Amino acid sequence: MTRETRGHGPAIDGEDAESAGTDGFTVGRAAALVGISVRTLHHWDDVGLVRPSGRTWAGYRVYSTEDVTRIHRVLVYKELGFSLAEIGRVLDDPATDAREHLRRQRSLLVERITRLQAMVRAVDRVTEAADSGMRLTPEEQVEIFGSHWKPTWTEEAANRWGESAQWAQYLERAADRTPQDWKRMAAEADALNTDLAAAKRTGVAPGTDEANTLAERHRASISQHFDCTRAMQVCILRMHAGDPRFAEYYDTLEPGLAVWLRDVIFASAAAHGVDPDSATWE
């Protein structure tokens, strides 16, 4: 039995039927078409993200072809990591038409595919490196990086950052390095730490040219492993500030060095337009 809808398409007596007619779909049918749950569509309706164009006489949702198209667009943006609020703003932007949405989504998808492909290549390269014996053993790590080094730190970093693009970069670059490369990098890191301690000891103030030069050397040392922006550098120092191991290591080189280094990095970032209080991983 059907009656006129109050919106779009003919009405039906139940929301769980397969179709609301040739001009619309019930919530169950629309959900099945795009591969999501009915509950999800209910939620998107409640928050105003995807509202059905019509209702049956009994108040059941009826989705038009255009509604289903919008659902597909929501799913693409969601897959790209957008929040529902962000997706709503993007889709409802009056300056962006349907064709522009397709171009934007295609561009974002290509970027994500490129990042994922890079991560796959990195994993392949690390596998090849492991097979050829190029990776350092725990004993070699301690020998090269010093007795303070803990081989478990690499595993800890993998657990924390393993799905990031920066970790993929780290793996790809690490796969090409020989023990001699690691020894060179460790020597450079020791030299930087020596200069940082000397600068703190002699009263070099954060924000001065000498301190900013040291901040850039510090960022360059990180960038050997992955491309590190000033905002990322701030985030790393902010994270280290909450790790007592960081303070313990630097303060053994020079009392107060950990806090001084944080202040140096923050001042250098601020001089380049990065707010240390609101910097994000980008």
Please tell me whether residues 118 and 147 are part of one structural domain. yes
Say how far apart CA 88 and CA 83 lie, in whole Å.
9
Mean pLDDT of 126-145: 50
Q: What angle do CA 266, 267, 271 make, to 5 degrees?
A: 115
100 inside domain: no
Contact 276, 264 (CB under 8 A): no
Do 169 and 247 lie in one domain? The reply is yes
Q: Which domain holds residue 75?
A: 1-93
Q: How many domains does the chain have?
A: 2
Note whether 71 and 160 are same-domain residues.
no
Let me know: does 255 contact 269? Beta carbons within 8 Å.
Answer: no
Residues 65 and 112 in one domain: no
Query: Residue range 8-23: average pLDDT?
Result: 45
Residue 281 in any domain: the answer is: no
pLDDT at residue 2 in the model: 35
Per-residue model confidence (pLDDT) at position 136: 52
53 shares a domain with 16: yes
Residue 42 has pLDDT above 60, yes or no: yes
pLDDT number for residue 180 = 80
Residue 277 lies in a domain: no
Domain for residue 99, yes or no?
no
pLDDT in tens, 179-220: 788 788 888 988 999 999 999 999 999 999 999 999 999 999
Q: Which helix (H) or strand (E) holds 54?
A: strand 54-55
Per-residue pLDDT band for 147 (boundaries 50, 70, 90) equals low
- Tell me, what amino acid is at 87? I
Q: Are residues 74 and 129 in the same domain?
A: no
Whether 4 is in a domain gets the answer yes
- Whether 139 and 250 map to the same domain: the answer is yes
* Higher per-residue confidence, 223 vs 96: 223
Are residues 115 and 83 part of one domain? no
- The answer on 257 and 162 residing in a single domain is yes
Residue 279 belongs to some domain of the structure:
no
Answer yes or no: are the C-beta atoms of 172 and 128 closer than 8 Å.
no
